[in-house]
Amino acid sequence: MGFGWGRGVRNYKDLLSIHNQTRAMQEFMIMIYRDLTSKDPKPSPQEMKEAIKPYLDWISGIKAQDKLIEQPKRWDLAGRVIRRGKTSNDISIGPFTNGRESIGGLIHIRSKDYDEAVGIAEGCPLIEYGAVVEVRMANPTN
């Protein structure tokens, strides 16, 4: 991620301050699980239509706090699942687990700690419609 002069940066000292604040943050992945397979999915297609504006507003709020690392992408529903079979890997169509819930969204954020990341995730409006949200912290690589 680059640092530009457009984020309230007036001089090199401001730039360095933003850089140090960002470095102190941890990376987290917010995973949104939805029922994509049953006859009566939660959230329903109608509920998803209702939730799209609050969802986009929630993402915009994360971005406004400079906590959004990457803009969320829309993923297809026809993914592939690979499991070890007796003689080779079994590949099935659809991102479906043994349960009804599948990953319906991924949001990559930065946060100072789990508490703050969970606070951000709790704001996901899809929870109100039955989605499940999980938060995971990236392990440091150095």
Do the Cβ atoms of 134 and 40 come closer than 8 Å? Answer: no
CATH no. for 43-137: 3.30.70.1060
Q: Where are the alpha helices (DSSP H) in the chain?
A: 12-24, 45-64, 114-122
Strands (E), the chain: 26-35, 68-70, 80-84, 89-93, 101-111, 132-137
Predicted TM-score (pTM) of the model is: 0.72
Domain boundaries, the chain: 43-137
CA distance 78 to 11: 48
**Burial label, 32 (beta-carbon count in 10 A; 0-12, 13-18, 19+):** buried
Q: Is 127 left (phi over 0), alpha (psi -120 to 50) or beta?
A: alpha
Tens digit of pLDDT at every position of the chain (142 positions): 444 545 556 766 665 555 555 557 899 999 998 877 777 777 788 888 888 999 999 999 999 999 999 988 877 777 787 888 888 888 877 665 555 677 888 999 999 999 999 999 999 999 998 889 999 999 877 6
